[in-house]
């Protein structure tokens, strides 16, 4: 019987990594606690630490820039809607 791969959420991976970083338990104990292999915990920990700098580097974070652009566009849409409503009220008597 073929075994399917387990899929882990980002939340679960973060929980495991944070516990590993606390160093209150050995990798062996954590592996047993979370039913994982020690190498998997080590890999997630390395990936987490390698990407940690991006949290504070807003220039490299495209999602932050996209969110700013989205907010700007929503602001423009809101202003245009208000202007449109004003124009409708102002020129309604001429229609």
What pLDDT tens digit does each residue of the chain (95 aa) get? 788 889 999 999 999 999 999 999 999 999 999 999 999 999 999 999 998 887 777 665 567 778 888 899 999 999 999 988 888 888 877 76
Please report, for the domain that includes residue 4, its CATH number: 1.10.10
Same domain, 5 and 39: yes
Q: What is the pTM of this model?
A: 0.58
Query: Whole domain around residue 19: which residue ranges?
Result: 1-51
Contact 77, 53 (CB under 8 A): no
Contact 45, 19 (CB under 8 A): no
Q: How many domains does the chain have?
A: 2
Contact 48, 17 (CB under 8 A): yes
Structure token pair of residue 15: 């929980």
Please give the full DSSP string across 6-18, using - where no structure is assigned: P---HHHHHHHHH
């Amino acid at each position: 019987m073929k075994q399917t791969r387990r899929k882990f959420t980002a939340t679960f991976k973060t929980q495991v990594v944070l516990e590993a970083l606390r160093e209150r338990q050995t990798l062996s104990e954590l592996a047993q606690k979370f039913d994982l292999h020690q190498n998997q915990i080590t890999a997630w920990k390395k990936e987490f630490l390698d990407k940690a700098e991006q949290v504070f580097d807003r220039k490299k974070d495209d999602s932050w820039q996209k969110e700013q652009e989205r907010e700007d566009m929503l602001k423009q849409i809101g202003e245009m809607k208000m202007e449109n409503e004003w124009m409708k009220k102002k020129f309604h008597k001429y229609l």
